[in-house]
Chains A and B, each alone.
Chain A
Amino acid sequence: MSVEAGRQVLTAVYGPYYMGKRADGYEIIAIFNNSGLCQETHLEDIFENQFSKVPKVLHDGGIGPFEGLEDIQKYCFSLCQKYGDEGVSLVSLDSYNKVITDAFTGEELLNELALKGNYIKNPEAGKSGFLSGIFS
């Protein structure tokens, strides 16, 4: 399902998580909405609540590891609900790189990411999330 461009969407770019040279699960490489990259404190809180452990990768816009894509989906959806975004679009690193290589403007990049991502709608959108009023 694709998303209409211009809406307040949380976009997450995920890729493999490496332990040394071996891929071992996934990590979110960039997660952002209209305000830019999500702050690491927000990412950390939800990760710890959801998985009851401390993330090994943590910085603004990045967190991990996750065992599978389903965990990433659940995590991003929780974050999307907290921010009150209209939905979350999950994009693999390969898709992101393809889109950025082909796009010519920032606007085009966003539109294409919205079209190429795996979109999950947040039915609660519009109702206030605890961060939506302040940080969106």
Chain B
Amino acid sequence: MFEEVDLSLTTPVIRDEDSVFPGENWFFYWKTSASLWRVKLESLTGVKRILVPINWAFHSDTGEKYDFAEEKPETDLKKLVTIADECGIEVVFLVPMTPCPFLTNGGLPSLLARTPMIDEKGRVQAVIDKDGNLNKLYSFFDPRVYRAYGKFAKELGRYFSTKGISCDVWGMECGQISLDGFVSTIKDYSPVYQQGFSKFISAKKDEDEALVGVMTPDQEYYLAYEFLTTIRSIYADACEVGLSGNWEGIIQVGLLGGSQEDFFKRIHQRESISQYSFDLLESVSLEVLPSSLLLPHRLKKGVLGKMLEQLVTSSFLEYKFAHTSFDEDITSQFSPKRFFEVYDLTPDVSPDISGWADLGLWDYLQKYYSWCYSDMGETEFKWDEEKDSNRIFFFHGITMTKVLFHNILKTFMSGGQVILNRSGLDIEYQRKLEAFFIENDLEVEKVKLGTTLFNASLGDGRFLVFDGDELVDFEQKKAMEFWHKVLATFKVNHLMALAPEGVQVSWKVRGPNTQELSYEEVRRMSIYNPSSYKKKFKFSIPRNFKLIKVIDEEKVHYVHGQNEIEIELLPEGSVSFDFGVFS
């Protein structure tokens, strides 16, 4: 990874817009006078929707008494919605359900900011905001906080209902992207957490005799997860009940620059655009909304700004918040291209069990399929025939439940493609699976590829079962070869571009318009060089890909041959290619 240091000699001028519009169509209503809201919103061009986080501390100092348009005019959310409506802009409200790193005290009213959050090593938690300030975070495990939060959600809901505010409201879970994926900011090991957890364990021991005595590390791990889930649900339930008429669900927001690794760079005023670019793409693959709220404006002028605009503002926001699905408006809007949906181990599974990372899958997909996958983590799987018919789904047998088993079979029977790691699969499901193959008279092929693969086909459907335990000890190269051979047997219609280290490639897709009817879909390949070095590479164009146009060229030189494109990207260079794709 390469780091960039701001070497500019002029003092950056802080523009008001940077505070009010900190990026990706977020709007901080408390950062400007209510009398200027109209002017600010009218100044936006081509913006259909703004994201408005509700600043708990701005409406209450104590957590007891609330101000919604009673004292400060800037707390008048009804007025904000009316103005936005008159400007043709939809407002989407986000209610924080976790500490918010971009707000002072993590967004807590000052009287409630009493117990600093602590990580598992005992360090007090803080983040660096876009102005270099230290925002300290306070525990959401403090009973005073969750009691007050219940009141806040109730008051907010009452205000929305009384004023007839009909905008969508999402619960916002803030976090950062790390090697372990999305890590929520609610995670905490402070004394209030420890006290709460001890009480939780005592209550559990009263309920369950098996827990009495000294607990095993696994038992403690499961209970810690259950405790975290319980506290998280207190906040989610309070929001959902209080705002039931507007409630849309929970959205995770990944704050670039918010991790501990970033913190120790950012206190030295060092920023790593390469790392943020990587985290942005990782965030999108995790279905987490990436956000640059912690980053200074100067960083968003170059290639990172372009990535934020192209991949978040113009694509991911629509994908997440638009009322009309992409399927209904398939010709005008690009959405992230996905070939694979990967369901990983649920957090209640012991950390000693091998996940997809241990089996080398992520390394392979990142290298050969350039972020064209969704890391679904612990999300519950639901089959959607309309949307998912061409995707390949990955599951772990150890997380199998009755509902998941039923859904997997339904997926396969409907023409879906499934890869199942049978390691840890309960004997009951193994028998059911065998019975299913026999009852449906399916021929099961056996192939030896380091591990034994069982493959069944039914129409377009594929069902491939392997034993992950036999893969764990594979060297990286052997694991890559394994996945390459396995996935080559699936019909994945992809242009593989192996970009050099530091260069990011991203794919989006849309349906063909009336001039493009010879194609099944149009794919946009965007290439970014966030590194400080010139990068050069080339890739072949498969026969069923036709280059339609080249756009957004910035610090790039390319040569387009019959079957190949050769690219030279200067630092901060980027370019996008639109391909028409047919069978």
Contact = CB atoms under 8 A, between A and B. Distances in A.
Contacts of B3: 35
B122 A15 contact: yes
Which applies to chain B's interface (DSSP): helix, strand, loop or mixed?
A: mixed
A29 B122 contact: yes
A2 interface: no
B273 to A, nearest CB: 14
Given A93-B123, A96-B123, A106-B267, A37 B261 contact: yes
B261 A106 contact: no
Size range of the chain B interface in the assembly: 20 to 34
Contact of B270 (A30, A35, A61): A35
Given A60-B261, A109-B134, A97 B128 contact: no
A93 B269 CA distance: 23
A36 B264 contact: yes
B124 interface: yes
Interface in A5-57: 13, 15, 29-30, 32, 34-37
B121 A36 contact: no
Interface in B263-289: 264-270
A65 interface: no
Interface string A93-131: 100110011011111111000000000000000000000
B133 interface: yes
Contacts of A93: 121-123
A109 B263 CA distance: 11
B128 A106 contact: yes
Nearest to B262: A36
B243 interface: no
Contact of A37 (B116, B122, B264): B264
Contacts of B267: 106-107, 109-110
A84 interface: no
Interface string B1-12: 001000000000
A87 interface: no
A31 B433 CA distance: 51
B285 to A, nearest CB: 22
Interface string B238-278: 00000000000000000000001100111111100000000
Interface of B: 3, 116, 118, 121-124, 126, 128, 132-134, 136, 260-261, 264-270
